[in-house]
Protein backbone atom coordinates (compact mmCIF):
# COMPACT_ATOMS: atom_id res chain seq x y z
CA UNK A 1 0.00 0.00 0.00
CA UNK A 2 1.07 3.54 -0.56
CA UNK A 3 2.18 5.79 2.26
CA UNK A 4 0.34 8.96 3.18
CA UNK A 5 1.88 12.13 4.56
CA UNK A 6 0.03 14.09 7.21
CA UNK A 7 0.31 17.83 7.86
CA UNK A 8 3.45 17.39 9.96
CA UNK A 9 5.23 15.46 7.17
CA UNK A 10 5.34 12.26 9.20
CA UNK A 11 4.81 9.03 7.31
CA UNK A 12 1.49 7.36 8.06
CA UNK A 13 0.41 3.96 6.81
CA UNK A 14 -3.21 3.80 5.60
CA UNK A 15 -3.91 1.19 8.28
CA UNK A 16 -2.95 3.79 10.94
CA UNK A 17 -5.65 6.25 9.91
CA UNK A 18 -8.36 6.47 12.54
CA UNK A 19 -10.94 8.37 10.58
CA UNK A 20 -11.65 9.72 7.14
CA UNK A 21 -14.34 12.25 6.27
CA UNK A 22 -15.30 14.47 3.39
CA UNK A 23 -16.19 18.14 3.44
CA UNK A 24 -17.09 20.45 0.59
CA UNK A 25 -15.16 23.69 0.31
CA UNK A 26 -15.60 25.76 -2.84
CA UNK A 27 -11.91 26.62 -3.22
CA UNK A 28 -8.46 25.07 -2.93
CA UNK A 29 -7.48 24.56 0.71
CA UNK A 30 -4.09 26.07 1.50
CA UNK A 31 -3.91 25.36 5.25
CA UNK A 32 -5.64 23.18 7.85
CA UNK A 33 -5.36 23.48 11.63
CA UNK A 34 -6.87 21.34 14.40
CA UNK A 35 -7.67 23.29 17.55
CA UNK A 36 -5.41 22.31 20.49
CA UNK A 37 -8.40 20.84 22.35
CA UNK A 38 -9.20 18.64 19.32
CA UNK A 39 -12.78 19.91 18.96
CA UNK A 40 -12.46 21.95 15.76
CA UNK A 41 -10.64 21.94 12.45
CA UNK A 42 -10.22 25.12 10.44
CA UNK A 43 -9.59 25.24 6.70
CA UNK A 44 -8.16 28.26 4.90
CA UNK A 45 -8.80 28.69 1.18
CA UNK A 46 -6.59 30.22 -1.49
CA UNK A 47 -9.17 32.87 -2.39
CA UNK A 48 -9.64 33.91 1.23
CA UNK A 49 -12.52 32.12 2.97
CA UNK A 50 -11.87 30.32 6.27
CA UNK A 51 -14.24 27.56 7.39
CA UNK A 52 -14.42 26.08 10.90
CA UNK A 53 -15.81 22.58 11.36
CA UNK A 54 -16.88 20.89 14.60
CA UNK A 55 -14.89 17.68 14.45
CA UNK A 56 -17.24 15.16 16.04
CA UNK A 57 -20.32 16.23 14.08
CA UNK A 58 -18.31 17.02 10.95
CA UNK A 59 -20.43 20.12 10.55
CA UNK A 60 -19.58 23.69 9.53
CA UNK A 61 -20.03 25.87 12.59
CA UNK A 62 -18.65 29.11 11.17
CA UNK A 63 -17.36 30.52 7.90
CA UNK A 64 -15.90 33.95 7.31
CA UNK A 65 -14.55 35.80 4.31
CA UNK A 66 -10.92 35.82 5.35
CA UNK A 67 -8.47 37.97 3.41
CA UNK A 68 -9.17 39.95 0.26
CA UNK A 69 -6.05 38.66 -1.54
CA UNK A 70 -6.11 35.13 -0.14
CA UNK A 71 -5.53 33.49 3.21
CA UNK A 72 -2.07 31.96 3.54
CA UNK A 73 -2.01 30.52 7.04
CA UNK A 74 -4.16 29.87 10.12
CA UNK A 75 -3.29 29.00 13.72
CA UNK A 76 -5.22 28.48 16.95
CA UNK A 77 -4.43 30.12 20.27
CA UNK A 78 -3.40 27.43 22.81
CA UNK A 79 -6.76 27.69 24.63
CA UNK A 80 -8.64 26.99 21.33
CA UNK A 81 -10.75 30.14 21.75
CA UNK A 82 -9.15 32.26 19.01
CA UNK A 83 -8.20 31.42 15.43
CA UNK A 84 -5.69 33.76 13.77
CA UNK A 85 -5.23 34.06 10.03
CA UNK A 86 -2.55 35.61 7.83
CA UNK A 87 -3.11 36.78 4.29
CA UNK A 88 -1.49 38.45 1.33
CA UNK A 89 -3.34 41.70 1.89
CA UNK A 90 -0.75 43.10 4.29
Report pLDDT for 27. Answer: 77
Q: How far is CA 13 from the centre of its chain?
A: 21
How confident is the model over 11-53, as pLDDT tens digits? 667 777 666 666 677 778 889 999 999 999 999 988 878 999 9
Buried residues in 8-29 as b, exposed as e (16+ CB within 10 A): eeeeeeeeeeeeeeeeeeebee
Give the number of other CB atoms < 10 A from CB of residue 5: 9
- Decide if pLDDT at 57 tops 50: yes
Mean pLDDT of the chain: 81
- pLDDT at residue 11 in the model: 65
Amino acid sequence: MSRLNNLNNRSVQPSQLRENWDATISDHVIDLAWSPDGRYIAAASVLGPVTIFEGRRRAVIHAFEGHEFGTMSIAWRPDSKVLASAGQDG
